[in-house]
Chain A
Amino acid sequence: MSKPLVLDLNNIEVIYNNAVQVLRGLSLQVPRGEIVALLGSNGAGKSTTLKAISKLLALENGELTGGSIRFNDRDTAGLAPHELVRAGLFHVMEGRRVFEDLTVEENLVAATYALNGRGNAKPNFDLVYEYFPRLFERRRGLAGYLSGGEQQMLAIGRALIARPTLILLDEPSLGLAPLLVENIFSIIARINAEQGVSMLLVEQNASVALAVAHTGYIMESGKVVIDGPAEKLAADKDVREFYLGMGHGGEMKSFRDIKHYKRRKRWLS
């Protein structure tokens, strides 16, 4: 990997409530301009990883207890969440989290705070409406009345307003119909290609994530167990079996085998 790194996580550890260790020495890199997919089962620590990066962890009593996070070659320790956003790291949170009692337009206006301290950067509302014409039609309506898909569009639209260098996307497919998921992901790929924004994408829906990503990481109980180029991961026998739900020969292995497979700890990061 010779490309310059936008994000470099080195052996990070996260503990919640001074008691529960969720991340145990996780390392991962996001090269400039790439989409990196972070996959794994429920409770593996994917969302925690994103919150550790964006510093929203503190709001949930979580604490980064070890390792380092470098964003654009700068250690992020000691930065407040809003300072990170203003430096160009935007976190699109799980469950969309639009401001429901604000209008669509006001949601985008709120995101212009991300541009504070960046000189004469002007918010580009038209860009958002170009990618998501549906939002333009509903710009005067309350965000709470949007459909799930439209709210996800708005959440990504807020990120576009902020002109980040890196977007953390937490489960953009959550609760959306398959057709809508494809639609959203094709726009995510377009934004990456056209705006040159790097992305770290957390997904349960592994096949659709690996389709747009350049690189993939798969994590289990707080650390990375497999990583590599997205095409290679998508073709990998084990990954296909356990994350894409495609057993070779059409026969699913039993859950017992999966447990066994996990316990063997074949991949140490």
Chain B
Amino acid sequence: MKNAETEVVTFNNVGLRYGADREVLSDVSFTLYPGSFYFLTGASGAGKTSLLKLLYLAQRPSRGMISMFGTDVITLPRTRLPAFRRRLGVVFQDFRLVPHLSAFDNVALPLRVSGVREADLHKPVTDMLDWVGLSHRSDAQPATLSGGEQQRVAIARAVIARPDMLVADEPTGNVDPDMALKLLRLFEALNRLGTTVVVATHDVHLLRKVPESLIMRLDKGRLSDPTGALRYPPRREIMPRDDDGQADDFGFAL
């Protein structure tokens, strides 16, 4: 049975428009469950980033209802939103590292925001930088890091506080295939610990790297459900593949 306590996020007939333009998201309804791994796909302009903005509470919808961790976040006073945001990890498409902070301080930022003492910061941040292969660049400013390095710092920052839900917008767009795989393994490891992971990507090869994943596809602001991700219970089904190892046609080429 559906249970608000077992749902991480529920969207119900959500619509979003910017100003007087047409809706970029229309009638979007789905539920994300704890410990699930979702890919959000769709062509450019389909509304992936807008949907992610709603997920990481950067935007309120124009209509519909969103609940998060069992609480209606649409009517929630804005003073209570930070507590919800601290349960989320976000990898922004453009990384959004703080330019005047070192890699170490950028990764430490969520912990500092949560009030972790300075004495308790060093080990987890160092371990995380080590994990993403940047321990030697811990003092580097973002401007001196390559695109891939910046992306890894952004990912380390998103996962350092062990979020209940990780939202990543094209998280492997700037890294080589080996590092992309390594980062996906990090997401999977986090997912096994109970974190719900939502990765927006239009890298179709990525989808096959996480066979347990569920796929939500956006097309012109509307959601489709190629893997049954939106059903309850979610069909934890391996992505359908054809004989030559390629996934079925989800409306886009793999």
Decide whether A and B are members of one complex: no
Could you tell me which A residues sit within 8 Å of B by CB distance?
Answer: none
Give chain B's interface residues, CB within 8 Å of chain A: none
